[in-house]
Structure 1
Amino acid sequence: MRPTGRSSRRARMADGAVDDAGALGARPPWWRRHRMDDIQRAAVVGFLYERARIGSPHTRSFIILSLLSSAIAAMGLLLDSAPAVIGAMLLGAFITPLLAMAGALIQGWVQRLVDAALMVALGIAMSMTAATLVGVVFAGQIDRAVLPPLLLSLTRPGLLDLGIALAAGVAAGYATMRTEAAGALSGVAVSVTVEPPIAAMGLFLASGRGEEFRQAALALATNFGALVLGATVSMAWWGFADRDTRGTARQARVGLIAWVVLVGAVAVPLAVYSRNVIRNTAFEQEVTSVVGTWDPSVRVVSLDASTTGERATVRIDVTGPRRPEPAWRLAELLSERRGERVEVLLTFTLAQEDRAVSSG
């Protein structure tokens, strides 16, 4: 007897069930969502929340590492030494409480969220103290008009910084949840640590640079918010959520929404600032090109140019073997090219060379 269409479909479904049953021991495809079992989840929870609270046996190590890493980062920023800053980031201990905050947001664990946040606040306080002391000792290095490029970059946060921190948070969450990625934790720590902006804040605080301090604080808020958000998404996707141990669903939703709003609030000024930085950087390149036409004999020492689209300001420091052309000519050249009013503030340093040969 020929089977009907319905019975044929049932037969195929049964065959598929047998195939699936026979493949239960097979490893699922990499794109399939991972589910943690109770033992794995308990191991992650024990690792994170035992370390992410003040008063635990790990608090002393956290404080010492925060002080040392920030001091190294501060000196590396003053020396414009990327290896020193990377070494400081590897020492930083912020990764654990940041991930603990992400897990607490997923599960709605209010007390654990508070404990981890207090741990982060303690680390920031210790790190800023160390960096400020370095700034006081080496105040002469940050009193100069031109900041080292690494230190200067921390005063110019943008949407790219937000994206990097978000991706790093996802990587940190993945490395924590998947044991096969545990070896990537050291690389993740380089990206996710918040030590460089904290060190910059301490240096600017010691030197009284209020504007730069605020910009470094914005960089810190960017990294901090995006890291936790990225780690929250990653840990939730790879199976950290557990209804049996979760607080109320309302607490979890409120916490996550509040954090998303916080990151969104940081992203708005970053978007504006990024647009201004891109526009001003293009303007500075244009000024450098025009200076060669204005007076080929001078060399640009420092340049700070900004524009609103209607009015532009150029602060330029040049040096040369003779007095340069008048500043108003440079302003006119820029105004003709850009079609806006340009104000030029020029500082000139005479470069003299005196050569002598002994008579002996």
Structure 2
Amino acid sequence: MTANKSIKKPPKAPKRRSLLALLRHRFPEKFHRPLIRNWRRLRSAWQINSGEWKWLEGKPMPLSVLNRSLWRSANPSSSYYALLFLSGVISVLGLLAGSTATIIGAMIVAPLMGPITGIAFAMSIGNRRLLKRAGLALLTGCLMTVGSAYLFTTLLGLNTLNEEITSRIRPTLLDLVIALAAGAAGSYAKTRRDVADALPGVAIAVALVPPLSVIGIGLSLADTDVALGSTLLFLTNLAGIILSGGIVFIWQEYGSLSRAKNGLLVAAITLSGLGIPLGFSLRELVIEERARSAVSSLIRDRTPFGGTDIRRLRIDSDDGGLLVQLEVAAPRDSISAEQVRLVHQLLQQELDRPIDFRVRILPIQAYDISSE
């Protein structure tokens, strides 16, 4: 008889500690005891009040199913490029036409969220192959969208910048917060079959294709401010989605912090760098809004323009000062150049900053014809 050989069993995977165990291990008793006590009370109350509905609670997808789904959505296939090209065409035409509904349609059609979510997932599980595949799909898709926008803008010969375009060249910290929230929502929706209906809303909230189209428009018009501003918006959306998406995947236990720490660090450093111009832009926006309110009240209450029909009042930052553009409808010769100069002096005195004041007066000519 052959001697019984000792069979080596494979080492067991280390058990993942729960949050309560980590609290006990990391923090002193005076700190963790009240936290754990309150947590157990809340959990007990929640289970008592929601126990009947537990069967309705959605569960995360198995790792293999989610992995297969994200590999498929990050695939640079012909259908991916076809949808992206069509969404780019819809987007650039909607931007040039100033049509908000058309731009929203382009956001829904665009498949860019697939590769970006794939990058976040690959980062959380440490899958380099998926990272390269999703990165290739994202890079080539972005280049194609910018190129198609450049081509259509050049062919159409339109060189006007409407509000739909200018609203995407001055991103602020608010756009960063939106990107973080949208990335978290998109990644969470990917892990749950019962909330997949939220994905179109995520695509609309974060708006990936329109900034790329604005980059192409800016390059076609040789306008560096437009191209750079929209590039900043796209990079903000991209980094925000990847960072928050990776955190959500780790939270849902699809990856580990040790595998994702390098990717999360890169995304966090990128967002920190982008946060500087975004912060300055938000500061300028706040200054403009306060100035707009002050100028509007001054013009309506303390100037000759208060009794006129104010058609347009626009205020922009201009090298440390403000550019105030006013358009009013008034009878001919009712407002003199001297009155305009006095209003200019009043605005500079009240706001205590340099102001360029441009006034356009639309003359009104009225006829009264009686029935006699």
Which category describes the TM-score, using the shorter chain as reference length?
0.7 to 0.9
Q: Give yes or no for contact 1:306–1:313 (8 Å, CA) kept in 2.
A: yes
- Give, in angstroms, the shift of residue 224 of structure 1: 0.8
Q: Using a 3 Å threshold, how does the CA distance of structure 1 residues 242 and 303 change in structure 2: closer, same or farther?
A: closer
Do residues 206 (structure 1) and 220 (structure 2) align?
A: yes
What is aligned with 1:226? Answer: 240
Residue in 1 that maps onto 2:87: 69
Structure 1 stretch displaced more, 89-98 or 317-326: 317-326
Counterpart for residue 215 of structure 1: 229
- The question of 1:241 aligning with 2:235 is answered no
Rounded to whole Å, the distance in 2 between the matches of 1:318 and 1:35 is 57
* Alignment partner of 2:162 out of 148, 166, 190: 148
- Distance in 1 (alpha carbons) for counterparts of 2:344 and 2:188: 54
CA distance in 1, matches of 2:323, 2:343: 10
Question: Is 2:154 aligned against 1:136?
Answer: yes
Instruction: Please give the residue correspondences for 1:339-350 in structure 2 after superposition, counting only pairs within 5 Å.
Output: 340-346=352-358, 348=360, 350=362
- Checking the alignment, whether the CA contact within 8 Å between 1:279 and 1:307 is kept in structure 2 is no
Q: Which amino acid aligns with 2:345?
A: E
Tell me the equivalent position of 1:48: 70
| CA distance in 2 between partners of 1:313 and 1:199 (Å) | 29
Unpaired stretches in structure 2, ≥5 consecutive residues: 1-52
Whether the aligned pair in 2 keeps the contact of 1:176 and 1:182 (CA below 8 Å) is yes
TM-aligned CA distance change 1:242 to 1:286, over 3 Å: closer
Matched, 1:100 2:118: yes
Is 2:201 aligned against 1:187?
yes
Distance in 1, matches of 2:239 and 2:310, equals 42
1:193 deviates by 4.3
Identity %: 25
**1:91 aligned partner:** 109
Give the C-alpha shift of residue 172 in structure 1: 0.8
**1:266-321 CA distance string (max 9 Å, x none):** 1222112101111112213333333344342464546343278xx52324253544
In the alignment, is the contact (CA less than 8 A) between 2:344 and 2:357 conserved in 1?
no
CA distance in 2 between counterparts of 1:302 and 1:342 reads 18
**SS in structure 2 of the partner of residue 346 of structure 1:** strand
CA 1:306 to 1:325, structure 2 compared with 1: closer, same or farther past 3 Å?
farther
One-letter amino acid of the counterpart of residue 322, structure 1:
R
Counterparts of 1:273 and 1:329, CA distance in 2: 31
2:171 partner SS:
coil
Aligned to 2:332: 322
Other-structure match for 2:348: 335
User: How far, CA to CA, are the matches of 2:94 and 2:150 in structure 1?
Assistant: 14
Q: 1:109 aligns with which of 84, 104, 127?
A: 127
Q: Tell me whether 1:282 sits opposite 2:290 in the alignment.
A: yes
Q: Deviations over 1:46-72 (max 9, x none)?
A: 221244244xxxx21111111111111
Give the superposition deviation at 1:137: 3.5
Tell me the equivalent position of 2:6: none
Cα deviation, 1:178-213, whole Å, max 9, x if unaligned, reads: 122223223223224401211222222222222122
Structure 1 unaligned blocks of 5 or more:
1-25, 244-248
* Deviations 1:137-182 (CA, angstroms, capped at 9, x unpaired): 4433x43xxx433322212211221111111111111111112222
Tell me, what secondary structure is at the counterpart of 1:239?
A: coil
CA contact (8 A) 1:295 1:325 kept: no
Q: Is the 8 A contact 2:116 2:242 kept in 1?
A: yes
Q: Which amino acid aligns with 2:253?
A: G
C-alpha RMSD of the superposition: 3.0
SS for the counterpart of 1:282 is helix
Deviations 1:67-101 (A, max 9, x none): 11111112222333222111111100111101110
1:285-304 matches, within 5 Å, as 285-292=293-300, 293-296=302-305, 297=308, 299-301=310-312, 303-304=314-315
1:248-281 Cα deviation digits (max 9, x unpaired): x4x6322221111112221222112101111112
Cα distance between partner residues in 1 of 2:66 and 2:212:
28
CA distance in 1, matches of 2:215, 2:313: 23
- Secondary structure in structure 1 of the residue aligned to 2:358: strand
Instruction: Name the CA distance, whole Å, in 1 between partners of 2:150 and 2:141.
Output: 14
> In the alignment, which residue of structure 2 is the partner of 1:122?
140
Question: Is 1:82 the equivalent of 2:100?
Answer: yes
Q: 1:303 to 1:138 in 2, by over 3 A?
A: farther
Answer yes or no: is 1:60 the counterpart of 2:78: yes
**Residues in 2 aligned to 1:61 and 1:201: alpha-carbon distance in whole angstroms:** 24
Deviating 4+ runs (over 4 angstroms): 26-31, 352-355
Find the counterpart in structure 2 of residue 174 from structure 1.
188
1:306 matched residue in structure 2: 317
TM-score by length of 2: 0.74
| CA distance, structure 2, for counterparts of residue 188 and residue 51 of structure 1 | 16
* Number of residue pairs the alignment of both structures matches: 310
